[in-house]
Amino acid sequence: MKITVLDGFTENPGDLSWDWLNECGDCTVYDRTPAELIQERCKDCDIVITNKTPLRRSVLENLTNLKFVGLLSTGFNIVDWEFCKEKGIPVCNIPSYSTNAVAQLVFALILEHTNAVAAHSESVHSGEWSACKDFCYQVAPLYELDGKTLGIIGFGKIGKAVARIALAFGMKVLASTNHPAPFDGVEFCGRDSLLERSDFVTVHCPLTPETEGMVNADFISKMKNTAVLINTSRGQVVDESALADALKSGRIAGAGLDVLSTEPPKADNPLFGIKNCFITPHIAWAGFETRERLMQICKENVLSFLDGKIINCVYR
């Protein structure tokens, strides 16, 4: 059995082990694979594992030995799964491995806006506290979350995890979803009502033709001018130019983003350099325990396939 991992570095920068794959066959793990080497590195492989390296039809149709595609992610748009379905090649992803980690980062971004931890720490290290006439001072306004309203767009597993944390903070929680179901402490409402009432709006919907560019100028115009936008879903959900204009003009108070429309982003991304826009480099999923869980599910996917069983296949 010949196996290749096309881009293993982000999943395992050295603190996990691929030894289990070596026990399954002749395995090669690449940190990264540029587009021009995808075909060559997949040649003659029975199993190909990928995270963000695309497997398009033009490549797949030449992989005559391919029997299984494993993903190191929940999303599967980087694989032409329809071609794989036609050929009976399972494409198996990693479901529900990062729910709590993503919810945790949502509140890290929210708390950066309400408590300005980084700015205050930088101020202390620069000597401002030592020179202060008082025992304390503020470099930015501070706010409590208790009593504030959090609006959640998309109410799947991550949205629900975010809601639980918000309720523990004493927040009021609104949710807008196509599939509302009773959830203690959460009020379901239309999107426009949510935007008008929320102090924080956090996006947790998949990227679809309907949600691409959803957070545009019209969307933002319905938010409070004191509100903060959080996006840890997919970068393409946000019209970045519209968001940049809104932040610069004070139309909304701030943003916290873990994803951008292009990753890695171009140096001229319109959101760069905006003081009230915190951006992290797609790290919500990247905690050690989260990646360890991802690796275990990937292992289960592969071993189940080798045992004649298919789990977590993206198509039915």
Q: Which positions are catalytic?
A: 234, 263, 282
CA of residue 23 relative to chain centroid, distance: 31
